[in-house]
Amino acid sequence: MQDNHEEYPEEFVAGLEWMWGDGFMSPGGPAEVGAILEGIDLTGQRVLDIGCGIGGIDVLLAKEHNAAHVTGIDVEPYLVERAQTLVTQAGLNHKINIQLTKPGALPFDDDSFDIVFSKDSIIHIPDKRAIYSDIFRVLKPGGRLAFSDWYGSDLPQTPEFKEWLVVVGLTFDMGTVESAAKLLGDIGFTDIELEDRNSWYAKNMEEELATLQGENFTKLADQLGEDGATQRLNSSTLKKTVVDQGLLRPGHIRATKPTLF
């Protein structure tokens, strides 16, 4: 995984939770996690969550999706600390292990997991071939990969897109969902399913912006300060334009490591 040099400080994370719910740093909440896992039963399965953030998803995977055990990893100490606290509060330390990892190869043996899951985190990892190959390695034969990520488009970048990248202040490496699926196939994954979620997110953006208007904005400013709340509003307003332009496209991918390879 890439070292993001603590790109998600406490104030920034608070703004994300404000929009997307306690324990979540990206849109859609439990329903979107369920959509990513469509057709995949986690009951009795060992799951790796890459980019676990502050742990809301890991609790969901263990508690609502009945995973036997979840290992959540992230490269940022603050996020890992938050996730560990959330797991303890949920009484799930026996089912969830949160680990701080270094950038690079996944620190697990071959064939360690039944499922590898990730939500909107691989965008921060520039070497997609390396991370997909490592996921292939740590999956058991017959294991499943299920993840969502932020993807780009073959369309030219607009001024609004370039401005949004500056405002959001995060390190992104976006290809297209189709190029990601092709690379997974080249590595050896089979039964690859992909779904472009741009139209879903365009509608979801209306709800996101509603959390940043009027009385909601005043409450957020009380929490983050006027500048912090304004930055969050400006970022989301620009992002809506970029989504409407088709240049920011959430996508789901599911794939299988074959039993013989």
Is residue 79 within 8 Å of residue 144, measured between CB atoms? no
Q: Please report the pLDDT score of residue 3 as a whole number.
A: 44
- The per-residue pLDDT for 2 is 43
* Residue 156 CB coordination number (10 Å): 7
Distance separating alpha carbons of residues 170 and 125, to the nearest angstrom: 12
The contacts of residue 131 (CB under 8 Å, 6+ apart) are 1, 50, 122, 125
Tens digit of each residue's pLDDT, the chain (261 residues) = 444 458 899 999 999 999 999 999 999 999 999 999 999 999 999 999 999 999 999 999 999 999 999 999 999 999 999 999 999 999 999 999 999 999 889 999 999 999 999 999 999 999 999 999 999 999 999 999 999 999 998 889 999 999 998 988 888 888 899 999 999 999 999 999 999 999 999 998 988 898 899 999 999 999 999 999 999 899 999 999 999 999 999 999 999 999 975
Task: State both tokens at 135.
Answer: 């996921």
Residue 261: per-residue pLDDT: 54
Right CATH for 10-154+175-197+247-256 from 2.30.42.10, 3.40.190.10, 3.40.50.150, 3.10.450.50? 3.40.50.150
Task: Please tell me the pTM assigned to this model.
Answer: 0.94
Q: What distance in Å separates the CA atoms of residue 219 and residue 230, rounded to the nearest whole number?
A: 12
Residue 215, pLDDT score: 92
Extents of the domains making up the chain: 10-154+175-197+247-256
What torsion do the CA atoms of 53, 224, 90, 148 make, to the nearest 10 degrees?
-30
Nearest by Cα to 142 from 47, 258, 253, 254: 258
Q: Confirm if 148 and 170 have CB atoms less than 8 A apart.
A: no
CA angle at 57 for the pair 227 and 104, rounded to the nearest 5°: 85
For residue 123, count CB atoms less than 10 angstroms from its CB and return exposed for 0-12, middle for 13-18, buried for 19 or more: buried
Residues β-bridged to residue 144: 115, 256
Answer for the pair 16, 212: CB distance below 8 angstroms, yes or no.
Answer: no
